[in-house]
Amino acid sequence: MSENDAGAPAPDPPAGAAEDPGGSTVADLRHRLRQLAQPLVDTLDARLAAQVDRRVTERVDALLRDRLAVIERAIADLDRAIADLEARLGE
């Protein structure tokens, strides 16, 4: 068991944890690295989510435009057919 800065004995590292010359365990270093990298990971995650949202929105908009065009053509065809029928009935 080693002593910390206050002179109290420091807890033993977990079994199998390697200790570097500075007294930090590998687990401590991993934890510190995760803390330092977390803001970068969060930023990348937010950017990726925004990019995916934009692409999904673009694809949905394109699909809806295509479907709406088909519906508009069908409505125009029906309108012409109704006009033809009204013209025949009016004769």
In the predicted model, what is the mean pLDDT of the chain? 85
Angle at 48 between CA 42 and CA 51, to 5 degrees: 145
Check: CB of residue 4 under 8 Å from CB of residue 23. Answer: no
DSSP-H helix ranges across 1-91: 26-90
pLDDT attached to residue 68 = 98
Q: What DSSP state is assigned to residue 6?
A: T
User: Where does the pLDDT of residue 1 fall: very low under 50, low under 70, confident under 90, or very high at 90 and above?
Assistant: very low
Per the structure, how many domains does the chain have? 1
Domain that holds residue 74: 65-90
Q: Classify 2 as helix, strand or coil.
A: coil
Domain membership of residue 73 (yes or no) is yes
Q: Express each pLDDT in 43-81 by its tens digit.
A: 999 999 999 999 999 999 999 999 999 999 999 999 999
